Structure 1
Amino acid sequence: MLLKSSLIRAVSQTKGVITRGYKAKAKKIPEFTQDRYQVSRKSFAAVTDSDVSQFEKTIGSKYVVTDSEELLTHNVDFLKAVRGNSKVVLKPGSTEELSQIMKYCYEKNLAVCPQGGNTGLVGGSVPVFDEIVISLNRMNKIHSIDEMTGIAVADSGVILENLEKSANEHGLVVPLDLGAKASCHIGGNVSTNAGGLRVIRYGSLHGSVLGVESVLANGTVLDLMSNFKKDNTGYHLKHMFIGSEGTLGIISKLAILCPPAPRAFHVAFVGLPSFDAVLQTYLSAKRQLGEILSSCEMMDKDALAAAIQHFGLKAPIDDYPFYMLLETSGSNADHDQEKFNSFLENGMEAGHIVDGTITGDPGKMQEIWKLRELVPVALIEDGYCFKYDISLPLRQFYEIVPVMQERCGSLAHRVCGYGHLGDSNLHLNISCSEFTPEIYKRIEPYVFEYTSKLKGSVSAEHGIGFLKTKYLSYTKADNAIDMMKEVKNLMDPKGILNPYKVLPLN
């Protein structure tokens, strides 16, 4: 069905599997985190040959990594922004092995850094100094998926995309979708309370995760697994581990509720003349698409230009100041497309939507999603990229972007914004040729001060990690941070679990 001078180009109805992948240019290895950020090492023990021998006895020499080249891949983060100096990576294959490792490390006062797919953006998944990296990629078993209850039980090292495929085979869908799904681990997702593209439809992981199994600092295995949505038996301790970024315990297994997979998908990509038009379109989408709206993404022209420039993509519509990508998922393709077409027609008549395309064809949906999902990695191709994941009031959602454009001036190559509009989650990106103290001081702490002034959150979905520890107070009250410290001291009195992360360093 064509609408209004072919501005809306409709095609057909089912959603296929979207492949998310790219090959990045080789990046310069960053300087050590301890040097760039001038951090002092805490009084943990250093790993000795005797320790390595004990680890080899526990998990096998094959899974104790000391090779410098392989170590580098675990010491440097995805953004090439932080770099640790770990001398050993351990790859346990079971909860029991992980428990034995932690018991030994606790006794010897050896600090550890839990690591999943290492796709984090705040330096939380790599060491700061010489912490032992505990890679969970061998703990990758999907134990069960029950199509009746929708409950999936999996080890923490299961790759998100693999869990999604297995859930799909049972007529279910994982309530989490990320651009990094081909490499990130479900345990890491839960540990950072990852948000992603489906929060507007399915909510956060605090609502979807039914239970966790976690290995504490002293090696104790804490079983908080549950197979029920309603389990009102005292304190819900599982929530302490969701979003704690491996500082209170290492999640080894989890149970997650997977809703029925939708039978029909449609995606629209539209151009808009102003941010006010973006807000009005979002409001209309909530009212007119309601229960079938599953994603609502926004990006500005500079963000889209990065993806087009670095990956040779082609935009399906002309150039506009803003773009929105909306996805619906439901059970009746004809009904959903009729609602979508009506919504788009109304938007164009109101002058909020200038141009757009809608499709239900798997291949075309894949191409449209690439426009949004390759933006984060495209900006890294500019050279160096400062990435800020913040929550802001919707009316001021984009306000910080032009402010930072003016503040950074010629020091920045590109200052742009994109993100999950439906969740008030803006991804502010500032790219430049390379990291320099000059632009760093121009950006921080100002970007967090501005966010705090708007009563926003300094971290919407990526956590605090290492890079945001000194800015936690911009969102959390002092007494709340004090209580977080008390919980940390209770759970990990020696502080060996992912030190230098989440909580302020002083």
Structure 2
Amino acid sequence: MMLKSALLLVRCAKKHVWDQVRFSSQALSQLSSEKYNVTRKDFATLQSTDVNFFKSVLSDDRVLTDENDVLPFNIDWLKNCRGQSKMVLKPKTTREVSQILSYCNKRRLAICPQGGNTGVVGASVPVFDEIILNMGLMNKIISLDDISGALVCETGCILEVLDKHVQEHGLIMPLDLGAKGSCHIGGNINTNAGGQRLIRYGNLHGSLLGIEAVKADGTVIDCLRSLKKDNTGYHLKHLFVGSEGTLGIVTKLAIHCPVLPKAVTVGFFGLENFDNVLKLFKSAKSSLGEILSAYEMMDNESIRGTLRNMKLTSPIPEYPFYVLMETHGSDADHDTEKVNRFLSKEMDTGLILNGTVATEPGKIQAIWKIRESIPAACMMDGYVFCYDVSLPLANYYQLVPMLRERLGSNASVIGFGHIGDGNIHINVTISDFDKEVLGVLEPFIFEEVSKLQGSVSAEHGIGFRKPQYIHYSKDRSALGLMRDLKTLMDPNGILNPYKVLPDDV
């Protein structure tokens, strides 16, 4: 009971933090088409006959056309992107999704699929007047095998709801995100979400067992199996992982859930420099092995701003760098011994200057809240440019001082993220959106990532904001194959246009 309480407390805290981020600014953002100078593609426009058809498929209350009702679905939570959709559709079944897509494909009406709308690259909101297909009502848990750990559910299930459900059966969801209380599991699949515990539970590709999806023409693709091993031809389920709704609409999925850990330990440490962050990580992998579940890095500026803006208190004094380390295990005595031995050694070597370790639910919650509050704290200071990139660990923090020098006093630049998988989040905060600052940041940051053989998107996807930069991480042959798949599966291009692939491929 103690462990479950700890996990639930942490997740409730994360949901609260995420809500603070989502609603930290009520200002109406500029239209994406104007802000980023985009030209509308040759799609049909919504007519009264279309509205009547959708009402014949769905009940009237699941077809939103009132401007005030539609507006919240047109804006991403960062207030960075804003579309011009005139309609939101809320299907409850795969059959309804199939009917909607079949009709839209024949009419050449563009569709923007939407889950919890917690993305940061504009994938889940329209650019022009695409019809928003919100999946929130497809939220049924279909089955759970507590022996194999196979969970089958609909795409609109909220990640936190799923996690609470599987915990009742001694399991845990294989990913954990700050947006857990709002994001949908289908959106997680579509963006290939990573989260804090990828180091322990792996990438979503490995956890996904099966999938059901609907193609643009309404054809239902049934690959919904819950087997760990199914080597029958192409792994079609993986086509939809990271596709961001451009190849089809995911309606159901099967995912493998690991065993709920019986012992959780969280440590929060102060370090002298980034080199020591890497040295400590190497030592943690060697000393803690299989129980190491998370290893998060935060620089001084990210923590200082978070403590100030969110009115939080750090359990340790101020240091240049911080590490949040978590272990998941099955034997509290065994784990405590390993952690204490690791800490004793690294305090003696001087890698850890100061720190605190928690096993109690309240203290675990307080430590994680500091880390999870960083995005909300940034948004309280102004407009935020969010960058999510993967880099070789030796170069992990390299871009942060480069950007500080490049921007000078015009912006605040912070770095934090998941050392375990090479994913750093770089947030650049200015008072208001400024195209000149955007020009200084882009494409510079992506050029530098490319030079270091990194990825321009680690876990947030490409969406609307990065198609013109995807070539920094994918060569022409790969992009050509991606375009061929898009053309095959969505020949009229109605699924989430303006996203993922650049027009010149």
**Deviation for aligned residue 1:14:** 7.8
**Deviation for aligned residue 1:15:** 3.3
Q: 1:389 aligns to what?
A: 388
**Deviation for aligned residue 1:70:** 2.2
Q: 2:398 aligns to what?
A: 399
Q: 1:297 aligns to what?
A: 296
CA contact (8 A) 1:485 1:503 kept: yes
Q: 1:205 aligns to what?
A: 204
CA contact (8 A) 1:75 1:127 kept: yes
Distance in structure 2 (CA, Å) of the matches to 1:153 and 1:237: 17
Q: 1:232 aligns to what?
A: 231
Distance in structure 2 (CA, Å) of the matches to 1:12 and 1:27: 37
Q: 1:464 aligns to what?
A: 462
CA contact (8 A) 1:92 1:138 kept: yes
Structure-1-length-normalised TM-score: 0.96
**Deviation for aligned residue 1:140:** 0.2
In structure 2, give the amino acid aligned to 1:274. Answer: N
CA contact (8 A) 1:13 1:333 kept: no
Structure-2-length-normalised TM-score: 0.97
Distance in structure 2 (CA, Å) of the matches to 1:105 and 1:97: 12
Distance in structure 1 (CA, Å) of the matches to 2:421 and 2:280: 15
Distance in structure 2 (CA, Å) of the matches to 1:189 and 1:377: 20
Distance in structure 1 (CA, Å) of the matches to 2:279 and 2:492: 51
**Deviation for aligned residue 1:411:** 1.8
CA contact (8 A) 1:13 1:265 kept: no
Distance in structure 2 (CA, Å) of the matches to 1:13 and 1:182: 17
Q: 2:220 aligns to what?
A: 221
Q: 1:92-491 to 2 correspondence within 5 Å? A: 92-412=91-411, 414-491=412-489
Distance in structure 1 (CA, Å) of the matches to 2:101 and 2:282: 49
Identity %: 53
Q: 1:37 aligns to what?
A: 36
CA contact (8 A) 1:13 1:266 kept: no
Q: 2:7 aligns with which of 16, 19, 44?
A: 16
CA contact (8 A) 1:306 1:378 kept: yes
Distance in structure 1 (CA, Å) of the matches to 2:435 and 2:140: 44
In structure 1, give the amino acid aligned to 2:397. Answer: Y
Count of aligned pairs between the two proteins:
495
In structure 1, give the amino acid aligned to 2:6. Answer: K
Deviates more, 1:67-76 or 1:31-40: 67-76
Q: 2:60 aligns to what?
A: 61
Which portions of structure 1, spanning 4 or more consecutive aligned residues, are displaced by more than 6 angstroms? 11-14
Distance in structure 2 (CA, Å) of the matches to 1:238 and 1:465: 20
User: Over aligned residues, Cα RMSD in angstroms?
Assistant: 1.3
Q: 1:6 aligns to what?
A: none
Q: Using a 3 Å threshold, how does the CA distance of structure 1 residues 52 and 301 change in structure 2: closer, same or farther?
A: same
1:71-126, CA deviations, whole angstroms, 9 ceiling, x for partnerless residues? Answer: 11110101100100000000001111111100110111000000000000101000
Secondary structure in structure 2 of the residue aligned to 1:15: helix
1:6-47, CA deviations, whole angstroms, 9 ceiling, x for partnerless residues? Answer: xxxxx9998331112133433321110000111111000011
CA contact (8 A) 2:3 2:262 kept: no
Secondary structure in structure 1 of the residue aligned to 2:212: strand
**Deviation for aligned residue 1:348:** 1.2
Distance in structure 1 (CA, Å) of the matches to 2:503 and 2:380: 31
In structure 1, give the amino acid aligned to 2:448. Answer: Y
Deviates more, 1:487-496 or 1:12-21: 12-21
Distance in structure 1 (CA, Å) of the matches to 2:73 and 2:5: 39
Q: 1:5 aligns to what?
A: none
1:351-401, CA deviations, whole angstroms, 9 ceiling, x for partnerless residues? Answer: 111000001001110010001111112111111100000000000100100
